[in-house]
Amino acid sequence: MSGFEHESIMTEEEKKELTEILANQDISSATNTIKEYLKQKERVELNIGVTGESGSGKSKFVNAFRGLGDEDEDSAKTGPVETTMEPKVYPHPKYTNVKVWDLPGIGTPNFKADEYLQLVEFERYDFFIIVASDRFREYHTKLAKEIIRTGKQFYFIRSKIDVAIDGEKDKENFDQKKILDTIRENCVNGLNEIDGVDDPVVFLISSRDLSKYDFNRMHERIEKELPQHKRHVLIMTLPNITLEINEKKKEALKKGILKVALLSACVAAVPVAGLSIAVDLSIITFEIRKYLYAFGLDEKSLKNLCEQSGQTMETLENLITSVWYKGLLTGSLLPKLRDTTLLMSEDAVERVFSIVPIIGSLVAGGLSFLTVKFMLNKALNDIAEDARKVLMAAFKNLE
Ligand SMILES: Nc1nc2c(ncn2[C@@H]2O[C@H](COP(=O)(O)OP(=O)(O)OP(=O)(O)O)[C@@H](O)[C@H]2O)c(=O)[nH]1
Ligand SMILES: [Mg+2]
C-alpha cells in the first residue's frame, strides 16, 4: 500500500460510536441522529475505484479525470508497460473530498473477480469505474457481477475512443456516429445480460481529448450523484448497525428473563389456588411491555418515528407482525396468554411438554419455569425483529 491512511464511508470507530449512540436512544431520536449523520457524511470524502484490464487506460483516465496531464506532478504513471500493481490514491485537485484510486489491471485468463475485489479492498470505494479499451469481454461481466454482489455501483467507460475512430477513418464509408453507436451498443448489450443491471451507464471517452465524446456527460452525472452515493452507502450499512443494536438490547434484556422465570417458579410454590397463574400473567405482561418500550414499539415512539420519517402509522404498524404489540395495545394480550393454544403452537414448547407436565402445572399452579422463560425469549426475539423491520422502513424513507 502507498501508506495512505484512507477514510472510508464509516471507519470501525465511527461505526462503533454510532452504534453506541443509537443503542442508547429511543427509536425517534435514533432516526434524528441518522439524519444528522447523513448530512455530515455528504460533506466528507468520496472514494472512486478505477478498474479495468491492464493497459486499458486507467491511469491516464485517473489523470484526465483530475484535469491533469500524464507528465504533471502528482499524476499517475502511464505507458505501454508501466503497470499499476497496487491501489494508489490520487485526490482530485478541485474537489478535494473526491479521491480517485488507480487500481491494478484485471483480465488475466484465470481472472477471479471476488479475489480481485478482496485484493483491492473493495469496501473502501463508494463506487467503481470500469475502464475497457476494447470490446466487452467475459471478465467485464465477472467484475461487474461481483461489484453488484458487494452492493456497490459502477460506471462503465469505453476508453481510447480516439484510437477506435482513427482505425476506421481510412475506410470509404466512414461514419463516426455509426462507429460510436456500435461501440456503445456492444458495451450496453454486455451489461444488460447481467442480473441487477437495469439501465447500464456507458461513457465513451478519449483521455487524450476530453472535450470530445462523453466526458462532460460523465462528469456531470457523477457530480450530480455524489451525495446519493454517500447516502446509499450509509443506508446500506444501517441494517447491520441496527441488527447489532438489537442484539445488544436483546442480550441486556435476556439477562432479566432468568430472574423473572425463577420468580414465577417461586410463586408457583406458594399453595394459594389461582395466585400463581395470575402472578405469572402479570409478570409476563409487564416484561413484554418493557421490551416493546426498549425497542420503541410503543404508540408514542412510533408516532414520533412517523413524524421523523414521513411514514404513516399504518405502514409501520403493518410491519409489526408478532402478537405482542397489538395484544398490549388492545388489551387482548392477557386473554391470548391464557389461551394455551398460543403456547402449544410452538415447537419448542411442544418439546418442553414432553418433559415437563405443563398441563398439570397450568391447572394446579402457574406456568412452568421453562414456559415462562420460553415465552419471554420468544417475545423478545419477535419484538426485536419487528423493531428491525420498522426501523428499516423508516430509514428507507430518509434515502
Ligand atoms: N490514444 C489514446 N491512448 C490512450 C488512452 N488512454 C490510455 N492511452 C494509452 O494507453 C497506454 C496505457 O495506458 P495506462 O493509463 O497506462 O493504462 P493502465 O490501464 O493504467 O495500465 P496498467 O496500469 O498496466 O494496468 C498508455 O500508453 C496511454 O497513453 C486514450 O484514451 N487514447
Ligand atoms: Mg496504470
Q: How would DSSP label each residue in 200-249?
A: --EEE--TT-TTSTTHHHHHHHHHHHHHHHHHHHHHHHHHHHHHHHHHHH
> What pLDDT, on the 0 to 100 scale, is given for residue 345?
38
Same domain, 179 and 307: no
Domain encompassing residue 122: 45-213
Same domain, 205 and 266: no
Q: Is pLDDT of 72 > 50?
A: yes
* Strand 98-102 with 88-91, pairing: antiparallel
Look at 388 and 36; give whichever has higher pLDDT.
Answer: 388
With respect to residue 77, please indicate whether it lies within any of the assigned structural domains.
yes
Of 123-132, 156-165, 190-199, 259-268, the poorest mean pLDDT is in: 259-268
> What pLDDT, on the 0 to 100 scale, is given for residue 191?
93
* Strand 98-102 with 46-52, pairing: parallel
Rounded Cα distance, 4 and 89, in Å: 8
Which range of 18-32, 114-128, 287-301 scores highest in mean pLDDT? It is: 114-128
With respect to residue 234, please indicate whether it lies within any of the assigned structural domains.
no
Q: Once rounded to an integer, what is the mean pLDDT over residues 96-112?
A: 84
From 156, 190, 213, give the residue that closes a domain.
213
Q: Is pLDDT of 165 > 90?
A: yes
With respect to residue 23, please indicate whether it lies within any of the assigned structural domains.
no
* Ligand 1 midpoint to CA 185 (Å): 23
Same domain, 188 and 318: no
Residue 83 alpha carbon, nearest atom of ligand 1: 24
> What pLDDT, on the 0 to 100 scale, is given for residue 21?
65
- The residues that bridge with 131 in the sheet, in sequence order, are 52, 157
Residue corresponding to grid cell 388489551: 331
* Ligand 1 midpoint to CA 59 (Å): 7
From 213, 235, 270, give the residue that closes a domain.
213
Please report, in angstroms and rounded to a whole number, the separation of the first and last CA atoms in the chain.
Answer: 34
Q: Verify whether ligand 1 is closer than 6 Å to residue 208 (CB atom).
A: yes
Residue nearest to atom 8 of ligand 1 (CA): 57
Same domain, 267 and 202: no
Task: Give me the helices (H) in the chain, please.
Answer: 12-23, 27-42, 58-65, 113-119, 138-149, 161-169, 176-192, 215-268, 275-294, 299-309, 313-319, 323-330, 333-338, 340-344, 347-355, 358-364, 369-398
Same domain, 169 and 307: no
From 193, 213, 233, give the residue that closes a domain.
213
Same domain, 266 and 133: no
Same domain, 251 and 325: yes
- Confidence grade of residue 1 (pLDDT, cut at 50, 70, 90): very low
Same domain, 312 and 252: yes
With respect to residue 219, please indicate whether it lies within any of the assigned structural domains.
no
Of 9-18, 168-177, 247-256, the poorest mean pLDDT is in: 9-18
Q: Once rounded to an integer, what is the mean pLDDT over residues 35-51?
A: 69
With respect to residue 239, please indicate whether it lies within any of the assigned structural domains.
no
3-state secondary structure of 24: coil
> What pLDDT, on the 0 to 100 scale, is given for residue 373?
80
Residue 54 alpha carbon, nearest atom of ligand 1: 25
Count of domains observed in the chain: 2
Same domain, 359 and 285: yes
Q: Which residues of 42-187 form beta strands (DSSP E)?
A: 46-52, 88-91, 98-102, 127-132, 153-158
With respect to residue 277, please indicate whether it lies within any of the assigned structural domains.
yes
Same domain, 202 and 300: no
> What pLDDT, on the 0 to 100 scale, is given for residue 204?
96
* Ligand 2 midpoint to CA 63 (Å): 10
Grid coordinates standing for 40?
455530515
Same domain, 201 and 256: no
Residue corresponding to grid cell 477513418: 169
With respect to residue 95, please indicate whether it lies within any of the assigned structural domains.
yes
Residue 159 alpha carbon, nearest atom of ligand 1: 31
Assign residue 66 the CATH number of its domain: 3.40.50.300
Same domain, 89 and 200: yes
Report which secondary-structure segment, H or E, holds 104: none
Residue nearest to atom 2 of ligand 1 (CA): 160
Residues near 378 by beta carbon (within 8 Å), at least 6 away in sequence? 346, 348
Residue 206 alpha carbon, nearest atom of ligand 1: 31
Q: Verify whether ligand 1 is closer than 6 Å to residue 140 (CB atom).
A: no
* Ligand 1 midpoint to CA 12 (Å): 36
- Confidence grade of residue 352 (pLDDT, cut at 50, 70, 90): very low
Q: Once rounded to an integer, what is the mean pLDDT over residues 90-102?
A: 79
With respect to residue 15, please indicate whether it lies within any of the assigned structural domains.
no
- Confidence grade of residue 41 (pLDDT, cut at 50, 70, 90): low
| Closest ligand, as measured to the CA of 63 | 1
- Confidence grade of residue 372 (pLDDT, cut at 50, 70, 90): confident
pLDDT, one tens digit per residue, over 219-241 is 777 767 766 656 554 455 455 55
> What pLDDT, on the 0 to 100 scale, is given for residue 246?
73
pLDDT, one tens digit per residue, over 247-306 is 777 887 888 787 777 766 655 554 444 445 555 666 777 788 888 888 888 888 888 778
Q: What is the DSSP letter of 113?
A: H
